[in-house]
Amino acid sequence: MIFPGLYHCYPLKTLKNLKKDEYNELIGIVIIDLLGEEKFPQRERTEILNGFLVNFDIPIHVFLRDDFHKISTEIDTLPDFLDYIKKRQALYEKHAITPFTNELDLLAIYKTQPQLIDDCLNGKCDLLVIAEGIWDSYQKDHKAAIDERNIANNPSYIIDYIISDLRRSIGYEPEFKSPAKRNDVKQGSIEQYWLSINELSKLPRVIRRGIGNVFIKKMEKAVIEGHGHSLIKYNDDSAFTILCTDKDRQQRANVLYNLTAAAYCGLNLRRAIGVATEPINAKERSFDVIFLVDVKFKNEKEMRDSFERAFGKPSHYKVTEYNFQS
């Protein structure tokens, strides 16, 4: 599993030398790979009891390689993974699960009955006893829902592709002709690249799915009409602008900037990210990205007034990972 961004690996003994004030948060991940383990029957393989510890004030999560592979298949974005290990840490620190809890059984409860974990962490119960074999039941009883989930996730990988492709945007510097005051981060710079992929990497898989579905619809619309755009507000202070057009990149970059700035002002956002690309039938594909955070505008009222004209009345929808009831 590879998460986009900059990450560092250190030997365990060097953790005590890390300066906490240089990082927002330090989390240790230890993966144990036991050679030849796969030759033993499942019930005879090594298990980890209480795979969590704190060393040098740093929380450290310990996993067997096979377990970690299954976790990273089920939870394959950084924000989803961080949510899992933080709740895992809280359960261990609260002594709310037993040391004998199987890692994959805990994962199955996290995926199918997250409210149980939240109730336990919120003090509605003192101990969460997870029966052995829950993971196997999850894989067997919900196979159809899991397969449907995997197919439904396909549009979400548009975001993953954009993250991996944006390195090609470094050095491309469109000349913005916008009434809005442009962001102080230079388009086409390495700083803009890192800001953009960092923001995109914060999107959980289910939000990427929702955005990806809209992306496909707008790329298809652009084949017929030459243009398609949309706005998705995915939390209280952040939104995602989509633009698909057959215009040249200079025109495209300016339209994208104006749409994203209108969204930023019209919704009183703290941050807004906009992505533009060609129609779905394009022979070659490129992406332009604009990222606005804590920006001031000289013509904020004008941008607010243009918001409804650009995006119309909002509609509301909810995307869930599965189509089964927990």
Q: Which domain holds residue 248?
A: 160-311
Q: How confident is the model at residue 182 (pLDDT cuts 50, 70, 90)?
A: very low
In percent, the amount of the chain with pLDDT more than 90 equals: 56
Cβ-proximal residues to 7 (8 Å cutoff; 6+ apart), any chain: none
**C-alpha span between 76 and 321 (Å, rounded):** 13
125/213 same-domain check: no
In a domain, 182, yes or no: yes
- pLDDT of 6 above 50: no
The whole-number pLDDT of residue 12 equals 54
130/184 same-domain check: no
In a domain, 322, yes or no: no
Cβ-proximal residues to 177 (8 Å cutoff; 6+ apart), any chain: 254
> What is the rounded average pLDDT of the residues 25-32?
90
In a domain, 181, yes or no: yes
Of residues 204, 198, 267, 202, the one with CA closest to residue 231: 267
- The predicted-structure confidence for 216-273, as pLDDT tens digits, reads as follows 999 999 999 999 999 999 988 999 999 999 998 888 988 998 999 999 999 999 999 9
Count of domains forming the chain: 2
Residue type, 75: I
- pLDDT of 2 above 50: no
More confident residue, 178 or 125: 125
Which string of b and e fits 37-50 if b means at least 16 CB within 10 Å? eeeeeeeeeeeeee
- The predicted-structure confidence for 288-301, as pLDDT tens digits, reads as follows 888 888 888 878 88
19/112 same-domain check: yes
Rounded mean pLDDT of the chain? Answer: 86
DSSP string, 158-207: HHHHHHHHGGGGTT-------SSPPPSSPTTSHHHHHHHHHHHHTS-HHH
End residue of a domain, out of 129, 151, 173: 151
106/196 same-domain check: no
**C-alpha span between 135 and 53 (Å, rounded):** 24
DSSP code, position 29: E
End residue of a domain, out of 88, 118, 151: 151
> What is the rounded average pLDDT of the residues 48-70?
92
110/172 same-domain check: no
175/140 same-domain check: no
The whole-number pLDDT of residue 317 equals 78
DSSP code, position 313: S
Q: How confident is the model at residue 105 (pLDDT cuts 50, 70, 90)?
A: very high
> What is the rounded average pLDDT of the residues 203-227?
96
- pLDDT of 116 above 90: yes
**C-alpha span between 241 and 43 (Å, rounded):** 50
The whole-number pLDDT of residue 5 equals 38
171/38 same-domain check: no
> What is the rounded average pLDDT of the residues 205-217?
95
R_g (Cα) of the chain, nearest Å? 23
In a domain, 307, yes or no: yes
Which string of b and e fits 80-96 if b means at least 16 CB within 10 Å? bbbebbebbbebbeeeb
More confident residue, 190 or 91: 91
The number of beta carbons lying within 10 Å of the beta carbon of residue 273 is: 23
In a domain, 78, yes or no: yes
The whole-number pLDDT of residue 227 equals 96
114/55 same-domain check: yes
72/168 same-domain check: no
Residue pair 260/272 in contact (Cβ under 8 Å)? The answer is yes
More confident residue, 141 or 195: 141
DSSP code, position 236: T
The whole-number pLDDT of residue 272 equals 92
146/167 same-domain check: no
**C-alpha span between 122 and 124 (Å, rounded):** 6
Of residues 156, 158, 160, 166, the one with CA closest to residue 290: 166
143/183 same-domain check: no
Of residues 182, 183, 180, the one with CA closest to residue 302: 180
81/124 same-domain check: yes
Of residues 18, 31, 88, the one with CA closest to residue 63: 31
28-42, 177-191, 311-325, range with the lowest pLDDT: 177-191
- The predicted-structure confidence for 125-175, as pLDDT tens digits, reads as follows 889 999 889 999 999 999 999 999 999 999 999 999 999 988 877 766 666
**C-alpha span between 117 and 109 (Å, rounded):** 8
Q: Name the CA dihedral angle for 306, 310, 316, 322, rounded to a multiple of 10 degrees.
A: -130
In percent, the amount of the chain with pLDDT more than 70 equals: 87
**C-alpha span between 50 and 61 (Å, rounded):** 9
In a domain, 294, yes or no: yes
In a domain, 109, yes or no: yes
More confident residue, 43 or 196: 196
End residue of a domain, out of 105, 125, 151: 151
In a domain, 326, yes or no: no
- pLDDT of 178 above 60: no
Q: How confident is the model at residue 45 (pLDDT cuts 50, 70, 90)?
A: confident
